Amino acid sequence: MEALHFLGDGFSIALQWHNIAFAFFGVLIGTAVGVLPGIGPMSGVALLIPVTATITSGLDPQSAAASSIILLAGVYYGAMYGGSTTSILLNTPGESSSVVTVLDGYQMAKKGRAGAALSIAAIGSFVAGIVSLIGLVLLAEPLSNIALEFGPAEYFSLMLLGLCAVSGLAGSSMTKALMMTVVGLLMATIGIDSVSGVSRFTYDNPNLYSGLEFLTIAVGLFALGEVFKTILEKDNGDGDIIKVKKILPTKQDLKDSAAPITRGSLLGFFIGVLPGAGATLASFFSYIMEKKISKDPKKFGQGAIEGVAAPESANNAASGGALIPLLTLGIPGSGTTAILMGALIMYDVQPGPLLFDDHPEVAWGLIASMFIGNVMLLVLNMPLVKVFSKIIETPKKYLLPIIIAISIFGVYAVQNTMFDLLLLLACGAAGYFLAKHDFPLAPLVLGLVLGPMIENNMRRALTGSDGDFMIFLQSPISLIFLIFALLWILIPVVLKMRGKNVITNEEG
């Protein structure tokens, strides 16, 4: 009942006119971001951080933090909604979690049922969003209370688990993912050490004394990285767009998709809670499960409505579930939540167990705004399906200058230094080359965000134990986290080696 009382307080914040406007613009921009192939929620959220900082500059710090995170979270789950549009109409996923939707969504569109597929995707996303938010309300307070018992050793091990989880599941190569994690951690050490006051890796450059600005790195890697990719690879994104005719699904469509939406929502939520698992994994698992339990598995891949309903529900539920470790433990569950965490820290709001005590306005305001945002998305997506499908036709020659302008003006407005603009361009070039050679960017961002906290907690723990590293193994909770972190890295390696041995034996 206490959670409901706090949620009521959250609604009093979320229903303020400016926060309703922020939620609306967030979900609207998020849907457009999801619809445009290649941009994705990570790039969209990173791109809008400087915009929100400028818009909320006149508000007091708490209100500015709440309003900014409401808008950015709206972009996050709005992009999850919008990602299905290109999958269904263009056979091109708007972002990675919509890859599975391509399999049956595009086949439905080719049969003249694009409207039904888009509507079921929107309904499934709405149901999943509400399910994940109910889970968030019920679990947020108990989890944060448990986490309050953690000491520096437990926090260090928990953050190490978060890094291993994202590194173990990002990209096709774990080696590359771990390399990017280490690069992120190394970048986090740049600046003046808060304990000793010694400057590290600054090379007597005053611009580096305060460290590398998260905002500049994130916008450069994701937003400008996509711009470089489009220009250098002459990716115009042209394709045959299927026209949307009838929008509303039939009664049979609703009946066939009801159970897959429910199963996808629950499965997606619990997968989303796991740090590093993310929406892409949830959508794949959901699709595989529906195919396994179906009486007619052969219809999957031929335009089955279940093949759209289940993964679209799962990826939206996972995006809500990923906020639980972020808000309660201070551990981002995905690349996008790592960027959201960086945005919160920019406003001096530390995600974690104390968030609900120190900044209830931000935490509960965000949760309440997501209920409102999900309703807005359903209202927007159902009647405006045809309008959003037109966004796909936006020529890149108009889109790219807008992204470049927002990136440069946004970063300069917040940082106000030429050094950060040069760093922005350098990160854009680096983002392009890293993505081109299949180096995942999410572990780098996570390493940059978690690096200072990992270091501080390790040093606090070692100070308390007089430099004895056994403190990380003597605490049962810390030991469990470290074992899980090790298993998260080792199990995929063992399975990969096993697979290679099986193939070698078969060939032999």
Q: H-helix or E-strand containing 93?
A: none
pLDDT for res 237: 54
Instruction: Write down the pTM of the prediction.
Output: 0.70
Per-residue confidence at 91, pLDDT binned at 50, 70, 90?
A: low
Cα gap 3→260, rounded to integer Å: 29
Report whether pLDDT(1) > 90.
Answer: no
Query: pLDDT (tens digit, 9 = 90+) per residue, 453-499?
Result: 888 889 989 988 888 889 999 989 899 989 988 988 888 778 777 76
Mean pLDDT of 135-157: 80
Report whether pLDDT(388) > 80.
Answer: no
CB 93 within 8 A of CB 102: yes
pLDDT for res 278: 63
Report whether pLDDT(340) > 90.
Answer: no
Mean pLDDT of 426-446: 87
pLDDT for res 425: 93
Question: Which range has the top average pLDDT, 49-58, 172-181, 465-474?
Answer: 465-474
pLDDT for res 187: 93
pLDDT for res 49: 82
Where do the domains of the chain lie?
Answer: 2-237+250-497
Cα gap 200→5, rounded to integer Å: 47
CB 205 within 8 A of CB 213: no
Mean pLDDT of 63-92: 80
pLDDT for res 39: 66
pLDDT for res 389: 61
Rounded to the nearest integer, the mean pLDDT of the chain is 80
> Over pLDDT 90: what percentage of the chain?
8
Mean pLDDT of 30-51: 76
Report whether pLDDT(84) > 80.
Answer: no
In sequence order, the β-bridge partners of residue 200 are: 191
Report whether pLDDT(242) > 60.
Answer: no
DSSP 57: G
Per-residue confidence at 28, pLDDT binned at 50, 70, 90?
A: confident
**Cα 369 versus chain centre, distance:** 17
The mean-pLDDT minimum among 209-213, 276-280, 405-409 falls in 276-280
pLDDT for res 359: 85
Query: pLDDT (tens digit, 9 = 90+) per residue, 5-25?
Result: 778 888 888 888 888 999 998
CB 471 within 8 A of CB 465: yes
Place of tokens 């600054």: 202
The mean-pLDDT minimum among 77-81, 145-149, 262-266 falls in 145-149
The 3 state secondary structure assigned to 142-211 is: HHHHHHCCCCHHHHHHHHHHHHHHHHHHCCCCHHHHHHHHHHHHHHHCCEECCCCCCEECCCCCHHHCCC
Mean pLDDT of 255-262: 88
